[in-house]
Structure 1
Amino acid sequence: MFKLLLVVALFGCAALAAPLNDDVITKFLANQDTDGTYAYDIQQASGLQIQEEGQAGHYARGSYSYTSPEGVPVQVVYTADENGFHPQSDLLPTPPPIPEEILRSIRFIQEHPTPEELADRAVRAQQI
């Protein structure tokens, strides 16, 4: 029962990523085994597509795609495991590059340890 609830919840989350409307489901395939593995593939007439496979409580990998209200195609591929949710998409924001001045400062700090850091290194070297 928990696995069915998980599949329904995942479908609901993915469906919320697309605009809400009275869309018709044109494809619905689902499979669930007794060992907890599952897979589903759902498509709607509007172009929303949701696919996922995994093992309940352990991992999942899948994708969803749709067209935004602005007409931009959106596709997200993801994995989820003990390390969290890992989406990949050209539309996800990325951090700006680290400025060269900051990189130089970090290198300087690493190359010029404080007296306390030098003392710590000496103590650790004696323990080895």
Structure 2
Amino acid sequence: MKFIIVFAAIAAVALAAPVDDSKNAHIIRYDSDNIGTDGYSFAYETSDGTSRQEQAQLKNIGSENEALVVRGSISWIGADGQQYTLNYIADENGFQPEGAHLPRA
């Protein structure tokens, strides 16, 4: 009888544990455009609410100031259920992130 009670208690705890949907997430949209050495772009969205998009373009081609300029953003649902977004630019001035917490509708 004690075994059944202990087993039931362990089963209840295991079933009550939160499920991490990110481990089971799958890609629901993916776009990619590699335009060669001048730049690229891509975007994707997964079933757990994560999305990312990024574009890059080479500027000042052939000069000593040639630089790849990357712009993008990534959004995800945090453990608290809120949506977070990180926008960024990376260029000759370094990585420049800008974050936002967006209340979920």
- Tell me which interval the TM-score lies in, with the shorter structure as reference length: 0.5 to 0.7
1:65 maps to amino acid:
S
Moved over 2 A (4+): none
* Partner residue in 2 for 1:44: 46
Structure 1 residues 1-128: aligned runs within 5 Å: 20-55=22-57, 58-90=68-100
CA distance in 1, matches of 2:38, 2:79: 36
Q: TM-score, normalised by structure 2?
A: 0.62
CA distance in 1, matches of 2:79, 2:47: 15
1:50 maps to amino acid:
R
CA distance in 1, matches of 2:94, 2:87: 14
Task: Show structure 1 runs of 5+ residues with no match.
Answer: 1-18, 92-128
Greater relative contact order (Cα < 8 A, sep 6+): 2
CA distance in 1, matches of 2:35, 2:43: 16
CA distance in 1, matches of 2:50, 2:79: 12
SS of residue in 2 equivalent to 1:21 = helix
SS of residue in 2 equivalent to 1:80 = strand
2:46 maps to amino acid:
Q
Q: Which has the higher helix share?
A: 1
Q: TM-score, normalised by structure 1?
A: 0.52
Percent same amino acid among aligned pairs?
Answer: 26
Q: RMSD value over aligned CA atoms? A: 1.9
1:43 maps to amino acid:
E
> May I ask how many residue pairs the two structures share in their alignment?
73
